[in-house]
Structure 1
Amino acid sequence: MRLGARIVDILIIVVGGGAIAFTVGMTMMGLTENNDAGGVAMAIVFFGSMALYEPIMTHAYGGTFGKRICGLRVARVSDGQNLSLGGAFGRWAVYQFIGLVPLGGLINALSCLWDKPLRQCIHDKAASSVVVKRRWGITANHL
């Protein structure tokens, strides 16, 4: 389920973030008649959307659209509540950093298969978080 959620999120980021970045970049090019300014604007918007999407969604809703669609939720190990914004950003940053290490992303993703008892990936352990099945209709924090 986590893999399915990640695939949905990648599609959202690439399609949604890409469309917004393209629109902003084309607008900048039209306003300034400077292709460099448009390209820089596109890059800032695209990478900014990548850096904000997962942490904000995880903090506010307990998971991204992909996790919500797949019936998953990210929670603090200590009390089951949503991560703080700083915790959610730290979790995302560790995930990104590990992906830069050769085979790190693969090891990180697979580590939940052998971790006991919480099935945490490395980025979950770094943020003291766990991915659990979403409990529908209990409270606003569980939606």
Structure 2
Amino acid sequence: MAYLIDSLLLGLVSLILACPIMIFTLILPAARANEVERFDPGVIVSFLVGYAAIFVLQFGLAYLYLVEYQLRTGQTVGKRTMSLRVLPVRPDRPLDRAMLVRRWLVQFVAGGFVPFFAWVDGLWQLWDQPLQQTLHDKAAETLVAKVVQ
């Protein structure tokens, strides 16, 4: 449930920030090309630039939210709502940026480019013993634990 809350929040912020990019790099150039009624190679370049900008925006927002924001308390909005926290496996180590970057790289970068990796990563916790870690938690040497309030 925390993952869904975080995904909805990230998706909403991405949509709000991506709308101006879509208007200026996708919609307006296509409308100008239709007015002239001829093919303009600049439209394709504009589409590619807009698509790349939205792609970079989404990865950047995910990094800021899942690494920098989570670094303060080990929680995102979704994790806080569900009373969860990311903790290091070794209790003598503090949660640091390097752990969260490894977690983000495996979850989003590998999950975004390797087919079906996101599914395997998320389902891994169902058979992992004893800590029920996902693959991105294993890579970062972290675990997600319930916070007692």
TM-score interval w.r.t. the shorter chain? 0.7 to 0.9
Describe the shift of the 1:43–1:103 C-alpha distance in structure 2 as closer, same or farther (beyond 3 A).
closer
Question: Distance between the aligned counterparts of 1:131 and 1:119, measured in 2?
Answer: 9
> How far off is 1:81 after superposition?
6.3
Could you list the runs of 5+ residues in structure 2 that have no partner in the other structure?
30-42
Question: Distance between the aligned counterparts of 2:54 and 2:112, measured in 1?
Answer: 23
Aligned Cα RMSD in Å? 2.8
2:141 corresponds to? 128
Identity of aligned residues (%): 32
Larger Rg: 2
How many residues were matched structurally?
A: 129
> How far off is 1:102 after superposition?
2.7
1:115 corresponds to? 128
Match of 1:21 among 18, 23, 26: 18
Matches within 5 A, 1:1-143: 4-23=1-20, 25=21, 29=24, 36=46, 39=50, 42-79=54-91, 83-96=95-108, 97-136=110-149
Describe the shift of the 1:80–1:56 C-alpha distance in structure 2 as closer, same or farther (beyond 3 A).
farther
Describe the shift of the 1:116–1:43 C-alpha distance in structure 2 as closer, same or farther (beyond 3 A).
closer
**Runs (4+) of structure 1 moved beyond 6 Å?**
none
Question: Distance between the aligned counterparts of 1:12 and 1:19, measured in 2?
Answer: 11
1:24-80 CA deviation, whole Å, 9 max, x = no partner?
x389x5xxx9894x9365554333212221111221121211111111110001117
Give the TM-score normalised by structure 1: 0.74
Give the TM-score normalised by structure 2: 0.71
Question: Distance between the aligned counterparts of 2:53 and 2:118, measured in 1?
Answer: 28
